[in-house]
Amino acid sequence: MVGCGMKRKCCALVFFGFACPFALLAQLGTWNVLHLRWQQSDNLAFFGEAQLRSLSFYDEFHYHEFKGGVNYKLSANFSLTSGFGRYDTYMAGSSFRTPKSNEELRTWLELGMRNTLGKVNFEHRYRAEQRFTSRGFRNRFRYRLSITVPVVSFGKKGYELFASAWNEVFLTNKAPYFERNRFFLGAILRQGKLAGGWKNFQFFQ
C-alpha cells in the first residue's frame, strides 16, 4: 500500500483480496481494487476507484464498480467526503452473466473522524448513501470502525508494516433495517518517502 500527502501528488493503490465464506471453505473468490488519489492541497483531495469481484478464483466475475469523489479535511481529526459511482451486479454461474441482478447509481456524503491511543490509530466513518437501483430508490446508512497498529519498520527505504482491521455495519430506513456486516483483517505495507499522507488516506472508499 502506498499513501502520499505531498501537494499535487498522485498516488495509486492496487489491492488483491481473496474472499472465502466460512460456510464454503472450499470456494475461494477474489476482490480486486485500484485506487487513485490526487492530493490537490493539504486539505483538498480527489479520488477514483475501480473494483472487480469474482465468486471463484479469477472466474465467475459477477460484480464491478467505478466511483470517484472529493475529500476535504476540516481539521487534523475530521474530514468530509462526497462521491458518486456506478455499481453493477450480474447473475451467478458465469462471468458477467446477464440479465443483471442489479444496476445502481449511487451518491453519498460521509463524515470521518480519527483519534489515537498510543500507537493505535482509530478511524470512524459515518456514511449516508442515496441508491438509485433497478429495483427503485433506496437509502442506506453505514458505520465503519477501523483500527491500525504499526508492527515493524525495516529497510533503507523506510518500509513500515501495519496490522489493520475494520468492521462495517450496513443499515436501511426500512424494516428489518439491518442489511449486512462486513469485516476486514489484513496487513498494510507502506514506503516512508511516499507515506506523508497516511493520516489522510482511507482504505476502501
In CATH, 9-200 is 3.30.420:
no
Instruction: Give all strands of the β-sheet with 159-171 in edge-to-edge order.
Output: 9-19, 29-39, 44-56, 59-73, 78-91, 97-117, 120-133, 136-154, 159-171, 178-191
Domain-wise residue ranges, the chain: 9-200
Euclidean distance between CA atoms 178 and 169, whole angstroms: 8
Euclidean distance between CA atoms 66 and 86, whole angstroms: 5
Give the pLDDT of residue 106.
Answer: 98
Q: Which residue has the cell 481494487?
A: 33
Higher model confidence: residue 20 or residue 52? Answer: 52
pLDDT at 132 over 60: yes
User: HEC profile for 18-76?
Assistant: EECCHHHCCCCEEEEEEEEEEECCCCEEEEEEEEEEEEECCEEEEEEEEEEEEEEECCC
Query: Are the beta carbons of 62 and 89 closer than 8 angstroms?
Result: yes
Reported pTM: 0.81
Give 156-192 pLDDT, tens digit per residue: 777 888 999 999 999 999 999 999 999 989 888 876 5
Q: Given the DSSP bridges, would you call strands 159-171 and 136-154 parallel, antiparallel or unpaired? A: antiparallel
pLDDT at 198 over 50: no
Give 2-14 pLDDT, tens digit per residue: 445 445 667 666 6
